[in-house]
Structure 1
Amino acid sequence: MTRWIIFILVYIALGFYVIQALKTIAKQPWWSYLYIIVSFAVMVNFIYQFTVGDDTSRVLNAPKSYAFGFLLTILTFNIITIIFLFSEDLYRITSGIYHKIYGVDKEFGLPARRRFLSLIALGVASIPFGALLYGMYKGKYNFKVLKYTLEFDDLPDGFDGYQITQISDIHSGSFDDRKMIEYGVNLINKQKSDVLLFTGDMVNNMTSEMLPWADLFSTLHAKDGLYSVLGNHDYGDYIPWETEELKKQNLEDLKALQKKMGFDLLLNEHRYLQKGEDKIALVGVENWGKGGFKKAGDLKKAASQINENDFKILMSHDPSHWEMEVIKDSYHYHLTLSGHTHGMQFGIEIPGWIKWSPVKWRYPYWAGIYKEMGQFINVNRGFGFLGYPGRVGIWPEITVITLRKKALT
């Protein structure tokens, strides 16, 4: 209860500050009234969804996600506005003190708030405000197909031109638009790749989240099959369970559902992809992540029955595994496929110019292709979304990678 009281008081205080800017730029009071109504409605909805709504458990369902999304939008608008106004207030207070000490008028008073600075504050704040709303309305299903060609000296001849489609982080428990998910699934199939690889997080927490969407994802196809690994969310670790047996059964149900949908789930094991006499070792590990994430992945076990000289593709959900273990392993993993970061679902990307997201401060390898010690990794930005029900600048991704034999020079 105490935390809700503190939240309400802080929220109201931030809103009061923003109202000062609105009063400065607009003589009509209805702007302030509109802001108060919207801000109050967002606060009440957030508190309702997380206290007495239809689902008061820790499961992050669609109503809760949108309540959080709208709250994030308002808070972002408030905080950016306040940064400008607080800077001005420091000047106003300093000026008031100076005039009291050295001025003719010994009465302390603050200079009037400058209208143009309030206009700038509200104008700048409106940019992320609009972007976050757009991200919830359109951005989360703005699927992008990103294509890469990677060259290798030792790629088996039969795999020259071999095409891989990678998807990751479906997070089916967050979906709310069947038509757009159908569009995304069809877009995957349109790539007509040789193999389809899914790198974890099919659900947010529970297998039941995937049931309404399983028929759509069961239509995925590739000539050489569909393969998958588990992500940190697939284990059900982020919600309470009545018994440990129910949690374990949830994971077993997810494994069975993936098999029913046509995926070959790799649990610290390998498969060989074959083209004539040539082959590639496809290795899949369970989740392995730094910073408190589950470390069920066992690279040694997964690769125990393959040859050191095999061309290897590794599926590992969390890119920190590549950073911490894979590139240092005695085996050379030519290509690792990961996901997990979502690119934080927020950032700025202009191909060839800039690629930035706050998530880079936690994950050095957070989106796209990287190369270290002669080994590649692709970090997929994710097909779905989690928490904030949208995407801004970092769009949902379908990766298509073409393997090429490097020409002799």
Structure 2
Amino acid sequence: MTVDQVQLSDIKRAHELIRPHVHRTPLLTSRTLDELVTKAIGSPVPVRLAFKAENVQVVGAFKIRGATNAVLTHLERLKAEHGPDFDPKKLCVVTHSSGNHAAAIARAARSVGASAAIVMPRTSPQVKKDAVAGYGARIVECEPVLAARESAADLLKEELETNGSGTVVQFIHPYDEELVIAGQGTLGLELMDQVRELQVPSGSKLSSALAPSPDVEDNCSWRSRDEGKEPVVDFVIGPVGGGGMLSGLSTAVKGLDSRVTVIGAEPEKADDAFRSFQTGQLQDAISPPQTICDGLLTALSPRTLSHIRTHVSSIHLASERSILSALRLVWERMKQIIEPSAAVGLAVAFDNKDFHQQVLRIAGSAKEEVRMVLIWTGGNVELEKIVAALSATASSS
């Protein structure tokens, strides 16, 4: 099946549209993590890391980008169809989500005066349910499988369309939606600008759009590069669940510089994207879920698989132990609260041998350093659950 792919121009349009509504999140650096990853890989040259901190984004996750682009674009369409006086209160946005997209849709709808109704798995973290309710959205719970989510969303949409209120109902898929993918891609535009700002003379002050982590006392700037000869960053690594963010991210990054290698990172216990990428055929998600990464439980769609196979070099897997270890390092060394889903990229950088071989091929090509940007997708954490998992891992070591 052929599907239309989002283009760089779509992402640039989304960036202009959502700019007043989202944060330009910082890049964070840590010399400690640079040194640890360099040692883990066995690289002959330093490995330099930068983290796109979407954990400090509006609603605590990148999802606000795609949700805002979709809600604003649909509202523009309705005003074009019904006149500029169309009342946003007549619009109700429906979706299904385990948490971050749900909160993003609820917040985006509230910001324009529309309403939202969200289907959420009953097992979604309470912190995420509370956030959705806090934005005024109606929550309908379902079983924690994709079929149940989709069925409940269809029933909810039908109920709202037939209740006689005259409500205009708009379903916005959490990832299988061009407007959502374009919105998520805006973080790729930002990071490609921001990595250039890391190239400052030694001793100079970093841009306000960037920041070293609290454990860094010396300058974390990168050496200047001639972009005519090599890309400003070698690898961009993004977690993958349903694939909307990785689709938009890879489209943006490769559209700006095709020499950058974009990598997907996925838990071993939720490896459907890896299997889909390898076979070229959609593979079912593991059910019931077995990973602590609750934001990465959904399977790819034909649209997201198409984007990823076009723009992504490979998808690498990380064990639960590696993910929790990476999470602990970020919490302890960088003083940043991120979700387990956001730690998968760092786990791959530390422990995935196939990825290490990719890095070593780059490191052996007369580079002074190897550069990676890793996406921290969110920071909405069910603290008690994560602390218990970290404690269990420590006690079994």
TM-score, reference length from structure 1: 0.28
Q: In terms of Rg, which structure is larger?
A: 1
- Which is helix-richer, 1 or 2? 2
TM-score, scaled relative to structure 2: 0.28
